Structure 1
Amino acid sequence: MTDPGDANGENTQEETGGEAERERVEPRGREAGPGRGHTIVVGAGMAGLAAADRLADEGERVTVVEGRDRVGGRIHSVPGWGGSATLDVGASWMRGEENNPLADLVHEIGVRTAVFNRSTETAYDPKGRRLLFDRHRRNMEDVHLLQEHMYWATVGANPQESMEEGINQALYDANLVRARARDANEIVHRIAEADHGADAEEVAFSAVAALHEFSGDDVVFPDGMGQVTDHLARGLDVRLEHVVLEVLHGDDGVGVRVDTPDGEEALTADRVLVTLPLGVLKAGQVGFAPPLSDEKRDAVERLGNGSLEKVFLRFDEVFWGDAQVIVNLGTEEGAWFHWYAGQRVLGAPILVSRNGGRAARFLEGRDDGEVVEHAMAALRGMFRKAPDPVDHLVTHWADDPFSRGAFSYTAVGSGDGDRVALGDPVGDRLFFAGEATEIEHTATVHGALLSGRREADRILTL
């Protein structure tokens, strides 16, 4: 039996991370304080580290096991790309600064942020012609009108009603026709695909009114969002490359079986907090003994697991003008609808595109060269003389065994009750956190943060 509290283990976070800051910090959470116990946290993403951070500060002994060779989970900052830029290849936005607990943490740490200014957005039609400012502004006004109709129509919506049905009804109610209906319809669909990682036909219409957004500016992180999870992990006993095979729980104790570089180990504790992504739970690659309840397993099955992939293209120079957001209408399967220009935030001539739902699946299975070729064909539809990129990076979150996708969404036939069931503890031994267990803040980093703190507080009351 391996003692998971051994601070001298070869896989502790300080020893494998390599960052000077990690080596300087004092170990914490290695011994239980008076009246406290020992919790194993499965997963070193935002939810797991937020919980571990709070537990350690309150005197709990904490061991974090993580299958990857890094912390952060679906937050992954790649520094020095092209010699200078830091890319957030996973989560990258903080939606609304005001009253956002993530914003409070970011300010506490002193992480540099930049406001993402969408006022410089430009749009191009399917033939590559730039839309006049007034035309694009009218399109966005139509989109907001549709979204308003959809929001109020969700009152009384049944779980089997899809967002596609809601969009169609909103188009009728708003009396939009011809080109205005076509453009607004496309933009609303592309926004839904990016927000939920799924097609409108797959997303429950009730999800339109389910999310709570904070007010204030949306911001990004020029030096990487990974600084936040690195900060939360400071001094903790984080066992990297520890792949959880099975979670054992019962009245007589709890523990996990893990596959490590040195072979299989069994770790025991007073409690286990599981923060695995929904995609990993759906894949069934982590066992539970005894099995989870039917209610919890049904929730995992009903909730949707979204797909969203990014493509980063670096060029020798900027050829797209001053716009920070470029909208491309009428693209194949909706791919390359949004381009984000990185010259101001990243300090380099970089374009980023996010493809969700149908577009992500359309590109799935292609090698990186094919994806870049397809992206460049779309760009050259708007910018005829666009040069070849000097570098590229294509994400593959759907293929990542430790994520199996991007984030959860409320699928047709699922609802808030499934998220509650997923997050419910099993007795006072087994706990669950992660953005998929949040109701008002799903598919967000701050939702993951809140879920981790929620379960830490629940554990601390024991």
Structure 2
Amino acid sequence: MESGNRSSPQLRRAACNSNVERMKTTSPSVIVIGGGIGGLSAARALHDASFQVMVLESRDRLGGRVHTDYSFGFPVDLGASWLHGVCKDNPLAPLIGRLGLPLYRTSGDNSVLYDHDLESCALFDVDGKQVPQELVAKVGEAFESILEETDKVRQEFSEDMSIRRAFSIVFDRRPDLRLEGLAHKVLQWYLCRMEGWFSADADTISEELLPGGHGLMVRGYLPVVNTLAKGLDVRLGHRVTKIARRYNGVKVTVEDGTTFAADAAVIAVPLGVLKANIIKFEPKLPDWKEAAIADLGIGLENKIALHFDKVFWPNVEFLGVVAETTYGCSYFLNLHKATGHPVLVYMPAGQLAKDIEKMSDEAAANFAYLQLKNILPDASDPIHYLVSHWGTDVNSLGSYSYDEVGKSHDLYERLRIPVDNIFFAGEATSMEYPGSVHGAFATGQMAAEDCRMRVLERYGELDLFQPVMGEDGSVSVPLLISRM
């Protein structure tokens, strides 16, 4: 653009059409598509930098794959529920600290289970017999040894391979690491938890965690969502179907045909939605961007929350069922331990989660309850239940991203890189922390700063606005951490 045209207000807006809703402002404008943590993070930062911001969200609520449900009479997170990395380096820690939101620590730094420590579990076989804790610990040590060997195997081979194939090679080389009988079943349970962590099956997973272990959000993530959204122009029930980018702005069309115009757009919709081509781009995205969308994996983990009138289970953080295959294993999070409420959350992942999504909510809740009844025959009937459907929900079409076998880890960065005046945010655009809430939050901040620089540089107004990234030396507030 020629410098002589920079001050022309006409160039700050896309051409006027009768069905185009325009932001009534002289300051730069941005449309944020997606009201999850990534989108809200970007919108908050841009709003605070004096941009005019509009958030278009397809759901009737904000938060995206963060969903705190109150129908039990208290908060239960049906989506993300942990802060992965309870430390000052976590970009979400200052906000959570300022809000005074308590965390319940479920693991330290070196837990082989990623999100829990070994001593916090009670495992049972399918006949309801509890696995001796000494065996659980012994298999945990073996699992760590196996993982170390798989790292060596995968470094030897030039081609990428799945965790399961690497395990197979390790067992061929090191028969002494093979486990039989009940120990083998416990090992399958460890693999099952790894699948839950990556929300995918072990034969599709290709393998940076912050220190501090993992903390469960005792009051749910909704206060974080509400804080980020405060004062923003949010349009719920606005499913975006088309994004047209021009040299002088973007036009965003929603399902009912209404079009919104702005200087730039931040796209923070889930990877599954991008993969489904629900949003059409005009002109189409570059081939490298489309390839990144296609090649990143999207996995599935769901939650079935069972609310009981009393506690009848052991006072541990989670219950597990061990089996011959990962598919047959089960995992229940004990919310009573962390929150005081009599709730168990069944958390299937991978293929099992896909199969359960085909059931009705009642059938899914019954399935989870039968798994519980197998190990605790005296279990009382639940009084309420909640079931998530992240895989079939058209607004998510999956839980979170992961590295597929044979694909480059830099796909996350390729997905993040802007295209003209369109910027990208969300957990699937985080090179360092994909699949995490703080990863989504951080990419929202990055997208906001990239957008701010690009738009203001274009109009020669970089000196008029304060930095987006909160460089105000705000006082750090310690996180409230408990371990009952």
* Bin of the TM-score, shorter chain as denominator length: 0.7 to 0.9
Kept in 1: contact 2:412–2:429 (CA 8 A): yes
Kept in 1: contact 2:426–2:443 (CA 8 A): yes
Distance 1:107 1:363, change over 3 A: same
Map 1:97-116 to 2 at 5 A.
Answer: 97-98=86-87, 99-116=89-106
Distance (Å, rounded) in 1 between the aligned partners of 2:32 and 2:280: 16
Kept in 2: contact 1:143–1:184 (CA 8 A): no
In structure 1, the gaps of 5 or more residues are 7-30
Provide Cα deviations, 1:95-142, integer angstroms capped at 9, x if missing partner.
121121112221123223222364331111232211122111112112
Q: Which residue of 2 aligns with 1:21?
A: none
Q: Once the 2 structures are TM-superposed, how far is the Cα of residue 65 of structure 1 from its aligned partner? A: 0.7
The answer to whether 1:456 aligns with 2:448 is: yes
The answer to whether 1:366 aligns with 2:359 is: yes
Q: Which residue of 1 aligns with 2:224?
A: 228
Q: Once the 2 structures are TM-superposed, how far is the Cα of residue 346 of structure 1 from its aligned partner? A: 3.0
Distance (Å, rounded) in 2 between the aligned partners of 1:248 and 1:203: 35
Letter in 1 for 2:85: G
Q: Which residue of 2 aligns with 1:41?
A: 32
Letter in 2 for 1:5: M
Q: Which moved more, 1:111-120 or 1:381-390?
A: 111-120
Kept in 1: contact 2:240–2:279 (CA 8 A): yes
Q: Once the 2 structures are TM-superposed, how far is the Cα of residue 158 of structure 1 from its aligned partner? A: 4.3
Provide Cα deviations, 1:64-120, integer angstroms capped at 9, x if missing partner.
1111111111101112x333x211011101112112111222112322322236433
The answer to whether 1:313 aligns with 2:306 is: yes
Q: Which residue of 2 aligns with 1:28?
A: none
Q: 1:380 aligns with which of 359, 373, 394?
A: 373
Distance 1:433 1:298, change over 3 A: same
Letter in 2 for 1:164: R
Q: Which residue of 2 aligns with 1:91?
A: 80
In structure 2, the gaps of 5 or more residues are 1-18, 108-116, 455-484
Q: Alignment identity in percent?
A: 30
The answer to whether 1:402 aligns with 2:391 is: no
Q: Once the 2 structures are TM-superposed, how far is the Cα of residue 156 of structure 1 from its aligned partner? A: 5.5
Q: Residue 423 of structure 2 aligns to a residue in which SS?
A: strand
Q: Residue 460 of structure 1 aligns to a residue in which SS?
A: helix
Kept in 2: contact 1:335–1:360 (CA 8 A): no
Provide Cα deviations, 1:420-445, integer angstroms capped at 9, x if missing partner.
22222112x11111111112211111
Q: 1:238 aligns with which of 234, 239, 242?
A: 234
Q: Structure 1 length normalisation: TM-score?
A: 0.86
Distance (Å, rounded) in 1 between the aligned partners of 2:227 and 2:215: 19
Map 1:209-228 to 2 at 5 A.
Answer: 212-228=208-224
Letter in 1 for 2:251: G
Q: Once the 2 structures are TM-superposed, how far is the Cα of residue 3 of structure 1 from its aligned partner? A: 3.5
Map 1:281-296 to 2 at 5 A.
Answer: 281-296=274-289
Q: Which residue of 1 aligns with 2:478?
A: none
Q: Which has the larger radius of gyration?
A: 2
Distance (Å, rounded) in 1 between the aligned partners of 2:173 and 2:344: 37
Distance 1:108 1:305, change over 3 A: same
Kept in 2: contact 1:159–1:412 (CA 8 A): no
Q: Which residue of 2 aligns with 1:248?
A: 244
Letter in 2 for 1:216: G
Q: Residue 135 of structure 2 aligns to a residue in which SS?
A: helix
The answer to whether 1:430 aligns with 2:422 is: yes
Q: Which residue of 2 aligns with 1:16?
A: none
Kept in 2: contact 1:397–1:403 (CA 8 A): yes
Q: Which residue of 2 aligns with 1:176?
A: 177
Letter in 1 for 2:292: A
Distance 1:397 1:106, change over 3 A: same
Kept in 2: contact 1:254–1:271 (CA 8 A): yes
Kept in 2: contact 1:186–1:329 (CA 8 A): yes
Q: Once the 2 structures are TM-superposed, how far is the Cα of residue 460 of structure 1 from its aligned partner? A: 2.1
Kept in 1: contact 2:354–2:391 (CA 8 A): no
Q: Which residue of 2 aligns with 1:196?
A: 198
Distance (Å, rounded) in 2 between the aligned partners of 1:234 and 1:328: 43
Alignment RMSD: 2.0
Distance (Å, rounded) in 1 between the aligned partners of 2:48 and 2:434: 26
Distance (Å, rounded) in 2 between the aligned partners of 1:439 and 1:306: 17
Distance 1:158 1:60, change over 3 A: farther
Q: Which moved more, 1:366-375 or 1:271-280?
A: 366-375
Letter in 1 for 2:141: E
Distance (Å, rounded) in 1 between the aligned partners of 2:128 and 2:142: 21
Letter in 1 for 2:198: H
Q: Structure 2 length normalisation: TM-score?
A: 0.83
Q: Which moved more, 1:357-366 or 1:302-311?
A: 357-366
Kept in 2: contact 1:86–1:346 (CA 8 A): no
Letter in 1 for 2:106: F
Q: Which moved more, 1:279-288 or 1:155-164?
A: 155-164
Q: Which moved more, 1:332-341 or 1:186-195?
A: 332-341
Q: Which residue of 2 aligns with 1:302?
A: 295
Q: 1:278 aligns with which of 271, 276, 284?
A: 271
Q: Which moved more, 1:398-407 or 1:187-196?
A: 187-196
Q: Once the 2 structures are TM-superposed, how far is the Cα of residue 164 of structure 1 from its aligned partner? A: 1.4
Distance (Å, rounded) in 2 between the aligned partners of 1:4 and 1:70: 23
Q: Which residue of 2 aligns with 1:136?
A: 136
Distance 1:196 1:87, change over 3 A: same
Kept in 1: contact 2:188–2:324 (CA 8 A): no
Q: Once the 2 structures are TM-superposed, how far is the Cα of residue 181 of structure 1 from its aligned partner? A: 6.1
Q: What count of residue pairs does the alignment treat as equivalent?
A: 423
Q: Once the 2 structures are TM-superposed, how far is the Cα of residue 222 of structure 1 from its aligned partner? A: 2.2
Provide Cα deviations, 1:230-280, integer angstroms capped at 9, x if missing partner.
100110111111110101113242120013xxx421111111111111100
